[in-house]
Amino acid sequence: MTKNMGSLDRLIRVILAGLVVVLYFTNVISGTTAVILLVLAAVFILTSMVSFCPLYLPFGLSTLRKKIYGKN
């Protein structure tokens, strides 16, 4: 599994997941919407931890910064 997520992408996902959790515990979201968003938040946390997003793979996307060798 090759990493395909950059730091900013991971940070945004963690922030969004945290926002969903806060909205759930403050009863702003509830019911089916809450369950769907909480599952999505869990996926965001998991993908952020492993730095790999399976949805990026079929499209050849990567937010990972490429290193340029030979440059100072």
Range of the domain at 11: 7-49
Residue 30 lies in a domain: yes
The one-letter code for the residue type at 53 is C
Give me the chain's average pLDDT, please: 93
Does pLDDT of 72 surpass 60?
A: no
> What is the count of structural domains for the chain?
1
Alpha carbons 19 and 14: distance in angstroms, whole number: 9
What confidence tens digit (pLDDT) does each residue in 2-36 have? 899 999 999 999 999 999 999 999 999 999 999 99
Residue 38 lies in a domain: yes
Residue 64 lies in a domain: no
pTM of the model: 0.84
Residue 31 lies in a domain: yes
Residue 62 lies in a domain: no
Q: What is the DSSP string of the chain?
A: ------HHHHHHHHHHHHHHHHHHHTTSS-HHHHHHHHHHHHHHHHHHHHT--TTTTTTT---SPPP-TT--
